[in-house]
């Protein structure tokens, strides 16, 4: 309780510091609005679209894509990582294509995703999925690989079924590393969602950004950027709380 409270204080302080720097850059340092609008102008732009209800439409759409992509990427990442650590022979063949597919910069392919997968929400989800997948996958592989051999002995001894071994031993043991991947994946999901909307579409925070950027409505642009950052922070905090819950057994240092 107390700790959570102090965490909230820290976040607030940090945000206040950021706000101050922002204010300083636009006030005393006099950066022009078209480069960086003042916090007040941005706030006004935000309030304006919040009042018309437009904001919630965009926000909801982006959030929905993020959550969908995150869940799918997460499931696939963990599943494929598991299969590959269980069957190293398969990994020889799958590893290369997976890595090549992943290191291919999505931003370059994003426009093509639209022609490949259509204008609908599918191409967006696929883009987000493809960005989330890899961090979770790599994290899960690391987690499954570092499994304590004593745990392997135990599961072998108890003759656990594949499902039991996964559920009861391998998954919990790999959790810390999976969470590393998940936290990066969450950020990537956000980046992917915005990117997808940037490339095509008529709704979402990314769309709001292209629109604002092309029409030089910089306060609106930064209002949208602000919303993405807030979204990122919320996702991060949610994952951190979940992590603390699930990994309390680790007795983390400074937990």
Partner 1 sequence: ADKVVLQIDGAAAPFYAPLYAGVDKGIFEKNGIEVEFIYAAAADILTNIAAGNVDFGFPNGDAVVAAAANGLPVKVVHTTYQRGIGALLAKGSSGIKTYKDLKGKKIAVTSLASPNYLQLQVGLKQAGLSLDDVSVEVVATGAIVQSLQAGQVDAIVFSELRKYNLEADGTKVTMILSNDFLPSFGNVVVTSSKKLSANPDLVKRFTTAVTQSYEWVIDGHIGDALDISLAKYTPTWPKDQKAILTTAFEQTFVPSVWQSALTKQKGLGAADLAAWQKNADILAQYKVIDSAPKAADFVVDPSTIGK
Partner 2 sequence: MAQSERMIDIAGVHKTFVADHGTVTALEPVSITIREGEFISIVGPSGCGKSTLLRLISGLDQATGGSITLNVSGRKRPVGFVFQEPVLLPWKTIVDNVRFPLDTAGVARAQGDKTALDLIKMVGLAGFEKALPRQLSGGMRQRAAIARALSDDPPILLMDEPFSAVDLMTRDNLNDELLRIWQSTGKTILLVTHSVDEAAYLADRVMVMTARPGKLQCVHTVELARPRGEQTKLDPAYHALVAQLRRDLRTPAGEAH
Partner 3 sequence: MILRGIAGLIATLVLWTAIVVIFRVPAFLLPGPLEVFARLLFLFENAKLFRHIGVTLTEIVAGFVIGTAVGILAGVVFARLPRVERFATPLILLLQTAPKIAIAPLLLLWLGIGPTPKIVLIAIVTFFPVMSGMVTGLRYGEGSFRDLGAVLKLSPWQSFWHIELPSALPAVLAGMAVATTLAMTAAVIGELMGANEGIGYLLSSGQENSDTAVVIGMVLLLSLIGWAFYEVIELIRRRSLGRFQLS
The pattern of x and - marking residues 121 through 160 that bind partner 2 according to CB under 8 A reads ----------------------------xxx-xx-xxxxx
Query: What tokens appear for 183 in the block?
Result: 């936290």
| Chain residues 79-108 in contact with partner 1, contact rule CB under 8 A | 108
Rounded Cα gap, residues 4 and 127, in angstroms: 35
Which residue in 74, 110, 128, 175 binds partner 1 (CB under 8 A)?
A: 110
Residue 28 backbone phi and psi in degrees, to 5:
-55, -35
Rounded Cα gap, residues 131 and 189, in angstroms:
6
Q: What angle do CA 80, 86, 91 make, to 5 degrees?
A: 60
Residue choice 78, 125, 127, 169 for contact with partner 2 (CB under 8 A): 169
Q: Which stretch binds partner 1 (CB under 8 A): 1-9, 20-28, 110-118, 160-168?
A: 110-118
Query: Cα–Cα distance between 184 and 135 in angstroms, integer?
Result: 6
Q: Which residues contact 2 (CB under 8 A, 6 or more apart)?
A: none
Q: In the complex with partner 2, which residue's Cβ is closer, 53 or 251? A: 251
Other beta carbons within 10 Å of 17: 10
Options 30, 100, 163, 214; binder of partner 1; rule CB under 8 A: 214
Convert 85-96 to b/e letters by CB count within 10 Å (16 or more is b): beeeeebeeeee
> Among the candidate windows 34-42, 89-97, 210-218, 243-251, which touches partner 2 by CB under 8 A?
243-251
Pick between residue 33 and residue 44 the one whose CB is nearest to partner 1. Answer: 33
Query: Within the chain, what is the greatest distance between any pair of CA atoms?
Result: 70
Q: What are 221's two structure tokens?
A: 């642009």
Our finding on whether 215 is near partner 1 (CB under 8 A) is yes
Residue 33: which of partner 3, partner 2, partner 1, none does it interact with, CB under 5 to 8 A by kind?
partner 1
Q: Which of residues 24-43 bind partner 1 (CB under 8 A)?
A: 32-35
Residue 200 binds partner 1 (CB under 8 A): yes
Q: How far is CA 191 from the centre of its chain?
A: 7
- Tell me which of 172, 180, 213, 226 binds partner 2, using CB under 8 A: 172
The three-state secondary structure class of 105 is coil
| Residues of this chain that bind partner 1 (CB under 8 A) | 32-35, 108, 110-112, 114-115, 118-119, 198-202, 207, 210-218
């Amino acid at each position: 309780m107390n700790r959570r409270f102090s965490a909230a204080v820290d976040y607030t302080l940090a945000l206040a510091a950021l706000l101050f720097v922002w204010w300083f850059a636009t006030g005393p340092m006099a950066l022009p609005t078209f480069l960086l609008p003042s916090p007040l102008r941005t706030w006004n732009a935000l309030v304006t679209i919040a009042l018309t209800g437009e904001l919630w439409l965009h926000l909801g759409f982006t959030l929905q894509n993020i959550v969908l992509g995150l869940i799918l990427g997460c499931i696939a990442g963990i599943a494929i990582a598991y299969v590959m650590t269980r069957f190293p022979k398969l990994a020889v063949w799958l590893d290369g294509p997976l890595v090549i597919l992943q290191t291919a910069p999505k931003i370059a392919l994003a426009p093509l995703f639209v022609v490949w997968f259509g204008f609908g929400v599918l191409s967006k989800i696929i883009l987000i999925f493809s960005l989330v997948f890899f961090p979770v996958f790599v994290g899960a592989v690391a987690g499954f690989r570092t499994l304590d051999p004593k745990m392997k002995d135990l599961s072998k001894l108890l003759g656990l079924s594949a499902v039991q071994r996964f559920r009861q031993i391998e998954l919990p043991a790999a959790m810390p590393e999976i969470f590393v991947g998940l936290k990066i994946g969450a950020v990537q999901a956000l980046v992917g969602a915005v990117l997808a909307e940037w490339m095509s579409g008529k709704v979402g925070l990314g769309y709001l950004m292209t629109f604002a950027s092309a029409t030089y409505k910089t306060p609106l642009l930064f209002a949208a950027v602000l919303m993405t950052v807030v979204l990122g922070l919320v996702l991060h905090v949610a994952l951190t709380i979940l992590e603390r819950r699930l990994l309390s057994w680790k007795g983390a240092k400074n937990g």
